[in-house]
């Protein structure tokens, strides 16, 4: 009787873990650039999220800001899924409208399957900004948006572009 109960429990655990793995591998590999609002002369924080259904050895993300009056000040990997990786190259173009960044595993564990923060972009707007600014992937030199699996096969994830829009200052009530 006890052997039967233990067997049923073990089979149940195997089925549950198998279902969880099947769900993980059915995720859509994607790169999501969140939306943000910014005041004239202010700053904005934009999160870049990534989803991967297979272990990755690395990824590359070149981004460009459309429109005028907004620039890329810096990028941070603090609190991200790639924070533990030593090699995280970042290049911000002189015009501060383009950035290429990524993460490459060398001696570290591969990036596990999942969803989470890749990086945080810090942007600022000059006093002339009063519209919208798209944030999208681009190709800079040989770099294009791609995920690289541990067998060195690279592919392009689904991309969800971001948007920085002007935030009207709130009027104080009298």
159 inside domain? yes
Query: What CATH number has the domain bearing residue 101?
Result: 2.60.40.680
16 compared with 28, residue with greater pLDDT: 28
Res 21 pLDDT > 90: no
State which residues form the domain around 43.
29-166
Phi, psi of 12 (to 5 degrees): -60, -45
Q: Could you give the number of structural domains in the chain?
A: 1
| Helix H or strand E encompassing 31 | strand 30-33
| Helix H or strand E encompassing 16 | helix 2-25
117 inside domain? yes
Question: pLDDT band at 9, cuts 50/70/90?
Answer: very low
CA-angle at 56, arms to 109 and 24, nearest 5°: 100
156 inside domain? yes
64 inside domain? yes
CB atoms within 10 A of CB 97: 18
Q: Which residues contact 92 (CB under 8 A, 6 or more apart)?
A: 72, 74, 75, 98, 99
10 inside domain? no
The per-residue pLDDT for range 53-105, each reduced to its tens digit, is: 999 999 999 999 988 889 999 999 999 999 999 999 999 999 999 999 999 99
DSSP state letters, 106-162: SSSPPBPSEEEEEEEEEEEE-TT--SEEEEEE--BTTB-SEEEETTS-EEPPEEE-E
Res 7 pLDDT > 60: no
What confidence score (pLDDT) does residue 170 get? 65
Question: pLDDT band at 158, cuts 50/70/90?
Answer: very high
73 inside domain? yes
């Amino acid at each position: 009787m006890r052997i039967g109960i233990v067997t049923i429990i073990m089979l149940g655990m195997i089925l549950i873990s198998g279902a969880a793995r099947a769900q993980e591998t059915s995720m859509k590999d994607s790169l999501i650039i969140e939306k943000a609002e910014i005041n004239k002369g202010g700053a904005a924080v934009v999160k870049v999220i990534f989803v991967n259904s297979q272990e990755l050895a690395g990824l590359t993300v070149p981004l460009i800001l459309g429109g005028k009056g907004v620039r890329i000040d810096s990028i941070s990997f603090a609190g991200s899924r790639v924070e533990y990786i030593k090699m995280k190259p970042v290049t911000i173009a002189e015009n501060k409208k383009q950035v290429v960044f990524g993460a490459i595993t060398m001696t570290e564990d591969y990036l596990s399957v999942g969803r989470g923060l890749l990086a945080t972009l810090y942007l600022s707007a000059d006093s002339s900004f009063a519209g919208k600014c798209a944030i999208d992937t681009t190709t800079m030199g040989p770099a294009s948006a791609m995920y690289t699996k541990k067998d060195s096969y690279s592919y392009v994830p689904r991309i969800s572009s971001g948007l920085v829009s002007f935030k009207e200052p709130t009027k104080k009530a009298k």
